[in-house]
Every structure is written in structure tokens, then in C-alpha cells.
Amino acid sequence: MRPVILALPLALFAAPVAAQADADVRADTAIVLPDFDAAAPESETPLESLSQRLSDPRTQNEVAATVAVLSEILLDMPLAPLIEPLAKATADAADVPRRPVDPDLTLRRMSPRAGEVTARVAQELPRAMDRMADASDGIAALLPVLRDAVRTLEDRVESALPRD
């Protein structure tokens, strides 16, 4: 349960940050679905670019540092503004008296060892990015096979349809 509690604020904080990211960064890291009618090398370029970017040690260190800083900020973010309306709604729905919410409550105060998560994420993130780069390489290698399968399926469906 605690990992979910720790991950939810991170996800809520990361979504607006990701949405406001620089357009150039989004364009460089965007995953583009392949166009099966295009030439193979052109359709594989985005995956190759993604793989190179994910396996770049400089990018990995920047992402790990950013995640570590965001995690530290989230650990010290006051939770009362988030918990107070939920506590009120829960008490109203259950028709029970509402317990007071500590105005100084933070994730770090809820779980003093939560700071260890920040260090571990920063340590493990480069390895996870390497794995994602390997996965994108595998997908890039699989695309020609999938492209051929789609073409074969299209041909068989076309030949099975009655002609006018």
C-alpha cells in the first residue's frame, strides 16, 4: 500500500511537468507508430533515436537527477490539502465523525524511510532506461516481420472478399 501512496503524488506531479516539457525534447523522444506503407529505414528512425537517447549516460544521469529532486520535493509536500477533502467525503459517506488531519503531514513524516526510495530510484533508473533502450531495439527488429504479416493478412483478406 505504501508504494502506491508514494507513487500517486509522484504521478500527479509528473504529469503537469511532462506536459510543460520543451517541445524539442518531446519531439526527440516521441514514439511514432510506424507507417506500414513507408520505407523500412524511415519508419524505424524514431525507435532507433529513442534507443540511442535512452542508452545515453548523460541523458540517464539528467533524468535520474530530475526524478531524485522531484521525489524529494514530493516527500516534503504538505498532504493536508489533498487529504482533508477526502477525509470529509469519507466521513460524510460513512456517517461517522471526521478525524482531524495533521496540517503538517508529509509523506516523509508518514514514512520516515521514504527517503530511501528516492536514492534507490535515482540509482536504478539508468539501468531501467538501458532495458527500455534494449526493448526498443527489439521492437525495431520486429517491425519488418510485423509489416510483412500485415501485408500478408491484407492480401488474404482481399482475396477472401467477394468481388463485385
Closest CA to 71 of 14, 128, 123: 14
22-57 pLDDT per residue, tens: 444 444 544 444 443 444 445 446 777 888 888 899
| Dist. CA 104–CA 82, nearest whole Å | 12
95-139 pLDDT per residue, tens: 888 788 899 999 899 888 888 888 888 889 999 999 998 888 888
Using DSSP, state whether 117 is helix, strand or coil.
helix
pLDDT at 21: 46
